[in-house]
Amino acid sequence: MPFKLATDGQAWALITGATSGIGAQYARELAARGFHLLLHGRREAKLRVLAEQLRTGHGIQTEVLLADLATEAGISRVEQAAAGLSGLRILVNNAGYGEPGLFHERSLQSLTDMQRVHNDAVVRITRAGIGHMVTAGQGAVINIASIAAYLPGRGNVMYYATKAFLNAFSRSLATDLEGTGVVVQSLCPGFTHTEFHDPGRRAHFDKSTTPRWLWMEVEEVVRISLARLGHGKVIVIPGLVNRIFAWIGGHEWLYRFIMKRVRRK
């Protein structure tokens, strides 16, 4: 049965990290298509505002789930929610963050926390919810990776490494699910206009120092993701510039040559 991004009015989508940015945009897009939403996040007030807007604007059901995925209790909470949601048809594993710092200068706790959020939570939540999709013969898992998955990243080792895992996990999972009607996508965006790099966030930096042509709008990133869902490609890289960076990152000699030239300037 080919995957269709449609609902009979009973289908649910679970989105982690839905408070803002890419996660919130998936919520808006899926609400407009009639999916009921289970929205996970940590900032309660903002998450509830989004849930209410989508409920009243699209006539759907919305639920809010508060949990810190850097903790065992937080992962278990979302895991149990996914296992209990029989109408689950779309799972968007979006929760994540950046935290710059040299590997040997970061605490072990900070390193393993990122691995827990980006990888452990994704594996466990996916495992908990995917059975409903397989039983229904219909569903989709979207893992939000990054163009960083293709690059060796100084100053944020765990971010780059955990995003690379999501690509490998998604490709292998898609192979396991062949013939079930459940599709998998690993989305690899680059610089995207969201709150991810805003003041007060862990990955904050001055956006004005980065060329404007490197950035994409969040609406376009999510639109590309949904348009390509279930069309044969597991890894989706939105934007020509990002695809070029991924190609360069796959050739270590070329990447190192370019970076040396850039650092000399």
**Which residues have CB under 8 Å from 186's CB, separation 6+?**
142, 143, 145, 166, 167, 169, 170, 171, 234, 235, 236
Structure tokens at 137: 């013969």
Which residue in 26, 97, 150, 159 is the catalytic one? Answer: 159
Tokens 């292998």 belong to 172
Cβ atoms of 148 and 203 closer than 8 Å: no
Running DSSP on this structure, what letter comes out for residue 147? G
Cα 65 to Cα 68, 113, 145, 204, distances in angstroms: 10, 20, 22, 26
Cβ atoms of 59 and 53 closer than 8 Å: no
Known catalytic residue at 160: no
- Cα radius of gyration rounded to whole Å, the chain: 18
Enumerate the H helices of the chain as residue ranges.
21-32, 44-58, 72-83, 108-115, 121-136, 157-176, 218-228, 240-249, 252-264
What residues are labeled active site? Answer: 159
